[in-house]
Amino acid sequence: MHPLVKLAKETIESYVRDRTIPRPKELTPEMMERAGVFVSLKVGGLLRGCIGTYEPAKANVAEEVITNAISSATRDPRFPPVTPGELAELDYSVDVLTTPEPVAGEAELDPKRYGLIVESGARKGLLLPDLEGVDSVARQIEICRSKAGILPHQPVQLYRFEVKRYI
């Protein structure tokens, strides 16, 4: 198990069981970097929680993982908080994001390679790359618009990013 995934798992188990937050004893070089991070939880292949930051909000990747792991397990509005009885069933993944970059149009996107941020005014919708069922740029944009409440006719700015996914 990759150290970032191990950190997410230990954090969620500790927090769900007794509301404590573990601190890593030693940080790997990657944990000391700054980047946006998403922590995703699945049970039986189905999404159970996914929360993250597309830009760094904490001092380092380790702190991003800890904060987003707790949020993924307890604050994803699509799901009830994870219970102690579910911990053994959880599958974890951690995505470390590159800095989002603006793109001129859909030709510069690829839903398998790039995640997407769609922005219109203050509204932003984000979708990680290489997700099951998202096989076209049009579908990726549609999902991002929907998540942000951006209507189909409203102009948008597109940003792409890559991830290192750890499972």
Please tell us whether the domain made up of 3-97 is placed in CATH 3.30.700.20.
yes
In which residue ranges of the chain is CATH 3.30.1490.150 found?
A: 101-162
In angstroms, the CA 125 to CA 97 distance is 15
Residues 139-163: pLDDT tens digits?
999 999 999 999 999 999 999 999 9
Specify the fold of 101-162.
Answer: Dna Ligase; domain 1 (3.30.1490)
By the 10 Å C-beta count (0-12 exposed, 13-18 middle, 19+ buried), 95 is classed as buried
* Number of neighbouring beta carbons within 10 Å of residue 127: 20
By the 10 Å C-beta count (0-12 exposed, 13-18 middle, 19+ buried), 85 is classed as exposed
In angstroms, the CA 39 to CA 96 distance is 9
In which residue ranges of the chain is CATH 3.30.700.20 found?
A: 3-97
Give me the mean pLDDT over the 80-87 stretch.
Answer: 98
Give me the mean pLDDT over the 125-149 stretch.
Answer: 96
In angstroms, the CA 1 to CA 122 distance is 38
Give me the mean pLDDT over the 51-61 stretch.
Answer: 97
